[in-house]
């Protein structure tokens, strides 16, 4: 049962061959057996089982949606009433939110919700800053394919738990690659929709102009199913886009014949390790065999996405994180003389090194005298990067690239080198800066049997096309069906 897709589980629940309580018990047992992965920050079997019983009652009353009773895990960046919400930080170690994030509400058991059962809160980098999930106050997440390896960041817990069959799907957030990169490194499928598609209300903010929620599951078809319930206009989020609801599954059956796939030459150069390059190239051949047309395109400003992103994101973070001052939320230092000392000690104790680094960089680039030189310039580059994509989309329908330059590296290998971590984001940042949708799907294995991902980038609101292009590939291949071999548990 734990290997089944969201779609198959929905069928089993509808037919009554399994109950939500049974499914929830099964996955909770697997989570307990896989504690070593450190994929979860919080689990509470009593809460999850109570939700499962409620889901079974809703189904018995004839009010079920297709997803009612299916277990899911939420990245611990979404606030929840029934579990603590930590954002991977000591600052919020024991924080309880008085409300649920919109995403949690839409997928959950409320009157308008999909009826899914929350299995727990997934581990993540502190305030979603990182590329390896080693910045979590709760420790790194191990990669189920090779426990010496990172899971990728920052939705590393979400990716690892889906790969290890601890839940059929999980939510994630992506500011510069945090859904796509861990999905690639853990061999699962993940989609970051167009900026504004999914509500940010109740998502603990990192960089508000970039943050976007999405979903990780084992297949594109499953991602589409969950996204159908997650996405949509939310008046509580001022950047939420008001568009009519759409069915993200509607292009799954569309054949690949005639699809124009753009290959940006900047993404296929020396920076890509040979094992990643050969898996990606083999996947492209498969697309070609199915009738897609590969066209050469250019995204000349790709290299600038790293400096631009690492100015803009810290700038926004320095502002967003000013609310954690020991007064309103979370941690407060035990001993202090005056108010200023209370702020200083609270923030010194509550934040980890990467978060402090971002706050310092952000405050610097926003300060008088540097604003024009750094922040404004970065915003201009951001605009140019977005324009490059629009030029490219004149010649192609989707763009295909590697997700990351290498497979997962070893835990500890790059912890002392923040810039090495930043460079690993080279293929995902520009999509976020432009606000475009991006999807990562498994396309093979590289060095030491570690998974490789293929990134598909679409134009604004092109999620259905991306999911369709991924689904057609998954119909013809079985990379997404492979499971790590040394899993413990049932």
- Residue with token string 């939320």: 329
Q: Which is nearer to ligand GLN, 206 or 343 (CB)?
A: 206
Q: Which is nearer to ligand GLN, 109 or 361 (CB)?
A: 361
State the nearest-atom distance from the C-beta of 453 to ligand GLN, in Å.
15
- Give the SS3 label for residue 268: coil
Structure tokens at 396: 């192609």
Q: Is 128 in the site for ligand GLN (CB under 6 A)?
A: yes
CB 187 within 8 A of CB 481: no
State the nearest-atom distance from the C-beta of 95 to ligand GLN, in Å.
19
Nearest to 243 by CA among 173, 304, 174, 193: 193
Q: Is 130 in the site for ligand GLN (CB under 6 A)?
A: yes
Contacting ligand GLN within 404-443 (CB under 6 A)? 425
DSSP type of residue 14: H
CB 160 within 8 A of CB 143: yes
Q: What is the dihedral of CA 407, 413, 415, 416, to 10 degrees?
A: -130
Quote the CA–CA distance of 216 and 6 in Å, as a whole number.
11
DSSP type of residue 479: G
Q: 307-326 mask for ligand GLN (x: CB under 6 A)?
A: ------x-------------
Q: Which is nearer to ligand GLN, 66 or 307 (CB)?
A: 307
Quote the CA–CA distance of 455 and 182 in Å, as a whole number.
12
State the nearest-atom distance from the C-beta of 176 to ligand GLN, in Å.
3
Quote the CA–CA distance of 315 and 366 in Å, as a whole number.
6
CA distances from 480 to 21, 183, 191 (A): 27, 11, 14
Q: Is 123 in the site for ligand GLN (CB under 6 A)?
A: no
- Exactly one of 5, 175, 219, 320 binds ligand GLN (CB under 6 A); that residue is 175
Longest dimension (CA), the chain: 71
Q: Is 174 in the site for ligand GLN (CB under 6 A)?
A: yes
- Exactly one of 118, 178, 318, 459 binds ligand GLN (CB under 6 A); that residue is 178
CB 419 within 8 A of CB 310: no
Choose one: 45-53, 123-131, 236-244, 456-464; the region binding ligand GLN (CB under 6 A). Answer: 123-131
Q: Is 177 in the site for ligand GLN (CB under 6 A)?
A: yes
Quote the CA–CA distance of 356 and 369 in Å, as a whole number.
22
State the nearest-atom distance from the C-beta of 365 to ligand GLN, in Å.
15
State the nearest-atom distance from the C-beta of 205 to ligand GLN, in Å.
11
Quote the CA–CA distance of 113 and 166 in Å, as a whole number.
22
Contacting ligand GLN within 242-301 (CB under 6 A)? none
Q: Which is nearer to ligand GLN, 68 or 178 (CB)?
A: 178
Choose one: 175-183, 250-258, 295-303, 385-393; the region binding ligand GLN (CB under 6 A). Answer: 175-183
Contacting ligand GLN within 181-210 (CB under 6 A)? 206
Quote the CA–CA distance of 220 and 243 in Å, as a whole number.
22
Q: Is 10 in the site for ligand GLN (CB under 6 A)?
A: no
State the nearest-atom distance from the C-beta of 91 to ligand GLN, in Å.
17
Structure tokens at 18: 């399994």
DSSP type of residue 76: T
State the nearest-atom distance from the C-beta of 362 to ligand GLN, in Å.
12
Residues engaged in binding ligand GLN (CB under 6 A): 128-131, 154, 174-178, 206, 313, 425
């Amino acid at each position: 049962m734990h290997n089944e897709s969201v779609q198959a589980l929905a069928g089993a629940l509808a037919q009554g061959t399994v109950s939500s309580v049974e499914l929830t018990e099964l996955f909770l047992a697997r989570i307990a057996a896989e504690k070593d992965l450190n994929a979860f920050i919080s689990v509470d079997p009593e809460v999850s089982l109570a939700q499962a019983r409620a889901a079974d009652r809703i189904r018995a009353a004839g009010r079920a949606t297709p997803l009612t009773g299916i277990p899911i895990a939420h990245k611990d960046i979404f606030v929840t009433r029934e579990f603590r919400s930590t954002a991977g930080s000591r600052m919020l170690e024991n924080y309880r939110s008085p409300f649920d994030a919109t995403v949690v509400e839409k997928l959950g058991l409320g009157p308008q919700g999909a009826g899914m059962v929350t299995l727990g809160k997934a581990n993540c980098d502190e305030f979603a800053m990182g590329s390896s999930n080693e910045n979590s106050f709760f420790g790194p997440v191990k990669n189920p394919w090779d426990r010496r390896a990172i899971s990728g960041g920052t939705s590393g817990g979400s990716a690892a738990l889906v790969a290890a069959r601890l839940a059929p799907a999980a939510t994630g957030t992506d500011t510069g690659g945090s859904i796509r990169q861990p999905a690639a490194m853990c061999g699962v499928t993940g989609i970051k929709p167009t900026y504004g598609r999914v509500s940010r209300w109740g998502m603990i903010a990192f960089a508000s102009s970039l943050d976007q929620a999405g979903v990780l599951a084992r297949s594109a078809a499953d991602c589409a199913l969950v996204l159908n319930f997650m996405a949509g206009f939310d008046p509580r989020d001022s950047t939420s886009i008001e568009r009519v609801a759409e069915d993200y599954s509607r292009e799954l059956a569309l054949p690949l014949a005639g699809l124009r796939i753009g290959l940006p030459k900047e993404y296929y150069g020396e920076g890509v390790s040979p094992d990643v390059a050969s898996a990606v190239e083999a996947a492209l051949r498969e697309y070609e065999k199915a009738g897609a047309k590969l066209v050469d395109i250019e995204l000349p400003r790709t290299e600038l996405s790293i400096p631009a992103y690492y100015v803009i994101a810290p700038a926004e973070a320095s502002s967003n994180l000013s609310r954690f001052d020991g007064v309103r939320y979370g941690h407060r230092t035990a001993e202090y003389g005056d108010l200023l000392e209370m702020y200083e000690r609270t923030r010194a104790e509550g934040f980890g090194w990467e978060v402090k680094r971002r706050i310092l960089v952000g405050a610097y680039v926003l300060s008088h005298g540097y604003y024009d030189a750094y922040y404004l310039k970065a915003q201009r580059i951001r605009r140019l990067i977005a324009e490059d994509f629009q030029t490219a989309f004149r010649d192609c329908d989707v763009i295909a690239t590697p997700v990351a330059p290498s497979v997962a590296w070893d835990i500890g290998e790059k912890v002392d080198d923040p810039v090495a971590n930043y460079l690993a984001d080279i293929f995902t940042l520009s999509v976020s800066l432009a606000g475009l949708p991006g999807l990562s799907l498994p396309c093979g294995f590289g060095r030491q049997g570690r998974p490789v991902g293929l990134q598909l980038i679409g134009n604004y609101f092109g999620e259905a096309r991306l999911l369709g292009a991924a689904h057609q590939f998954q119909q013809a291949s079985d990379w997404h069906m492979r499971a790590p071999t040394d899993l413990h548990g049932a």
